[in-house]
């Protein structure tokens, strides 16, 4: 559905893995002692990140998923977050860690935070692998961020362009060679 594009590597698989080890250490320290941690991945983009993150956590966790979508096949947020699939489990009274691949305009994460807060978890924290602060339209920031990135359209490591390239092992930026 799109013009031909190429992908230039921006963050290597090795750099991602190293950063996740550091993040996992901080998260482990924060949640040490809880027997109630529920790790919630936002589908679809976070499926690779959550898989790598939980395997570094070394804590008793439950894993659940929520499907939220606002981009469809385009490069622009619709600013309307649709919940396509809800959590399977209850989070009332639980410690919750929301795992997101990228915070761009902020509409998705802020919508999900509001939704899940209304269910009265004991605590709720958020982590995003990538943050594009220059694009923010809603005032929200994840408690932990893997990498701050410039305003480039990125794919890979779970992130798609029109549902493609989620399976790239690294983060790359999309470039259209027919553009100057
Ligand atoms: C993408 C990405 C984040 C969100 C970030 O999801 O995975 O969830 O957009 O953008 P925002 O901060 O501007 O809201 P998308 O809607 O493409 O769904 P997907 O995860 O299924 O690809
Ligand atoms: Mn997403
Ligand atoms: Mg998407």
Complex ipTM: 0.98
**Ligand lying nearest the CA atom of residue 71:** 1
Q: Tell me the three state secondary structure of residue 20.
A: helix
The gap between the terminal CA atoms of the chain, to the nearest Å, is 21
User: How sure is the predictor about 1, in pLDDT bands with cuts at 50, 70 and 90?
Assistant: low
The pocket around ligand 1, CB under 6 angstroms, is made up of 42-45, 69-71, 77, 100-108, 159-160
Q: 128-163, pLDDT tens digit by residue? A: 999 999 999 999 999 999 999 999 999 999 999 999
Measured between alpha carbons, how far is 101 from 149 in angstroms, rounded to an integer? 12
Delimit the domains of the chain by residue range. 15-149
Looking at the DSSP bridge assignments, the partners of residue 130 are: 102, 147
- Summarised one tens digit per residue, pLDDT across range 86-136 is 999 999 999 999 999 999 999 999 999 999 999 999 999 999 999 999 999
Distances (CA, A) of 168 to 37, 110, 158: 29, 27, 8
**CATH code of domain 15-149:** 3.40.50.2020
**Is this model's pTM higher than 0.90 or not?**
yes
Contact assessment for residue 143 and residue 27, using Cβ atoms and an 8 Å cutoff: no
């Amino acid at each position: 559905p799109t013009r031909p594009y190429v992908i230039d590597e921006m963050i290597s698989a090795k750099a991602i893995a190293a950063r996740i080890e550091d993040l996992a250490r901080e998260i482990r320290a924060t949640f040490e002692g809880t027997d109630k941690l529920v790790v919630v991945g936002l589908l679809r983009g976070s499926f690779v990140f959550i898989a790598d993150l939980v395997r570094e956590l070394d804590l008793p966790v439950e894993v659940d998923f929520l499907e939220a979508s606002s981009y469809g096949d385009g490069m622009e947020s619709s600013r309307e977050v649709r919940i396509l699939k809800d959590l399977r489990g209850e989070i009332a009274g639980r410690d919750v860690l929301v795992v997101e691949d990228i915070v761009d305009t902020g509409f998705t994460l802020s919508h999900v935070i509001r939704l899940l807060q209304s269910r009265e978890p004991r605590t709720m924290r958020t982590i995003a692998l990538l943050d594009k602060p220059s694009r923010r339209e809603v005032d929200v920031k994840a408690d932990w961020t893997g990498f701050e990135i410039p305003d480039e359209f990125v794919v890979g490591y779970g992130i798609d362009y029109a549902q493609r390239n989620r399976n790239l092992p690294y983060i790359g930026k999309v470039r259209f060679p027919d553009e100057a």
